[in-house]
Amino acid sequence: MDKIQVVLISLRQSPLTPSIGVDGKPLDLTREISILEVRFYNQLTFTSHVKDVAKRAARKPTCVRQISHLLDSRGCCMLYNSQVRSLMEYSPLVWSSCPPSFLALLDSVQNQARRLVVFKLRENDRPVHFQSLQHRRDVAALCVFYKVHQQNSPHLATLRLQSEAPSTYNIRNNHGRCYELHVPFARIETFLRTFLPKYSRMWNQQLRETDLHILTSIQQFKTAVHLSRLQYDCG
């Protein structure tokens, strides 16, 4: 009983709450619950979770800085990737719908690490490139779509979307039209930023502009979509 968590997920601020119990014992409703280290707020905004992750991650660059005198720039970068960035990239496709202003808290942590690595660069060192966290989340999400719709991964079957209805007329860049997906309807901005609505639109955009859907391996797709998203971000 002490492990049971109950949260009512709704956007409505209603004073009426259901009475929920197990074996005749009432359970208290809470505003948020924790499942596998991810905090789910009752409105699914994930702001509390991202703030908590940013707070924990912000302490780690200080630890890296304390031993930076023993490391070169690449050593500091490797330590950041393994100990700090990995914390900020745990289950990101669940909480990446968080408002951008809160996701920026994670970017500020990476900026601290970037400044440390740049400070440690020597004259003949090769520059160290930091990919943006949003770029990495986008590439990871599109790879999941590839596994679902091109490789038919059974453990991801519940994420599968229907194909978009075929066009009845010829349009420019029609080569990937038959692979486009039906984008779920989103009435509110919170849902519009969630995994399926957001990345189904991005997937369809990639199909209109590239031939990435014909690649035969996930590694080829990941490399190609990484380069494609870099061009899009820079453009």
Judged by DSSP in three states, 106 sits in helix
Q: What is the CA radius of gyration of the chain?
A: 22
- Across-strand partners of 26? 21
| Dist CA 89 CA 215 (whole Å) | 26
Judged by DSSP in three states, 110 sits in helix
Single pTM value for the model: 0.84
Structure tokens at 132: 């943006």
Judged by DSSP in three states, 194 sits in coil
Per-residue pLDDT of the chain (235 residues), as tens digits, is: 778 888 888 777 666 677 888 888 888 888 888 888 898 888 888 999 999 999 999 988 888 888 888 888 888 888 899 989 999 999 999 998 899 999 999 999 999 889 888 888 887 777 788 889 999 999 999 999 999 998 999 999 999 999 876 655 555 555 556 678 899 988 888 888 999 999 999 999 988 888 887 888 999 999 999 998 888 776 5
| Dist CA 163 CA 182 (whole Å) | 5
Residue pair 77/117 in contact by the 8 Å Cβ criterion? yes
Q: Tens of pLDDT along 205-232? A: 988 888 887 888 999 999 999 998 888 7
Residues in contact with 111: Cβ distance below 8 Å, sequence separation at least 6, in sequence order: none
DSSP secondary structure letter of residue 35: E
Domain extent listing, the chain: 47-131, 134-234
